[in-house]
A and B are shown apart, each in its own frame.
Chain A
Amino acid sequence: NAGVTQTPKFQVLKTGQSMTLQCAQDMNHNSMYWYRQDPGMGLRLIYYSASEGTTDKGEVPNGYNVSRLNKREFSLRLESAAPSQTSVYFCASSKPGGTMNTEAFFGQGTRLTVV
């Protein structure tokens, strides 16, 4: 049971470099999310996609772009990495049921360091 798979697990970037974090889910979920987690800050929503073909900004979208490639995949791109983007990034997916959300399942995280 793969669930939500994130790649890579670890990454070190130099300031100004770009990279794409990949996320794929095999649970046929409609909604997908990208979060970042910093010490003492909890999980902060970067972007989310309610369904294939739609994306929307979360709490901290600046410096990031996303692509909902298809129902399974939701990627997060850093165009010009900055040290402030050093964080642990989590992808999640859920299957909303009408007016009520169902629980989200999380990937194992990508630990990104920008030097």
Chain B
Amino acid sequence: EDQVTQSPEALRLQEGESSSLNCSYTVSGLRGLFWYRQDPGKGPEFLFTLYSAGEEKEKERLKATLTKKESFLHITAPKPEDSATYLCACTGKLIFGQGTTLQVKP
């Protein structure tokens, strides 16, 4: 059974304190791994797509990486506006992990 697991469930950082979010997956035939950001009361907003192990994508303070079993979302020197829930998803059915809620304090 395809499965996507994210950790930690919640993360509190001070502004400028870098960290990483983890997304591990067990799927048959990866067709892309996706990272999304979701703000309260809104639908998920697309951030990155990764297709093969070793691939990396960057956007402002965010960098996503992919291995054969997991993906990391690295947040460098975060700001309060980076506070949100970060979701990863993969497979043809677009199965999501449960998300990591990030809070960045000034």
Contacts and interface: CB of A to CB of B under 8 A. Distances in A.
Interface residues of B, number: 23
Majority secondary structure, B binding face? loop
A50 interface: yes
Interface of B: 6, 9, 31-32, 34, 41-46, 49, 51, 87, 89, 92-99
Interface residues of A, number: 29
Interface of A: 4, 33, 35, 40-45, 48, 50, 56, 58-59, 90, 92, 94, 96, 99-109
A40 B9 contact: yes
A106 B92 contact: no
A101 B92 contact: yes
A108 B43 contact: yes
Nearest to A103: B46
B96 A100 contact: no
Contacts of A109: 41-43
A43 B96 contact: yes
A65 B34 CA distance: 27
B9 A43 contact: no
B93 A45 contact: yes
A43 B87 contact: yes
Contacts of A102: 32, 49
A108 B95 CA distance: 19
A42 B98 contact: yes
13 contacts: A35-B96, A42-B87, A42-B98, A44-B96, A45-B96, A48-B94, A94-B94, A101-B92, A104-B34, A107-B43, A108-B42, A108-B43, A109-B42
A46 B49 CA distance: 23
Contacts of B97: 42
A106 B93 contact: no
A42 B43 contact: no
B31 A100 contact: yes
Counting chain B CB atoms within 10 Å of each CB, the highest count among A43, A44, A48 belongs to A43
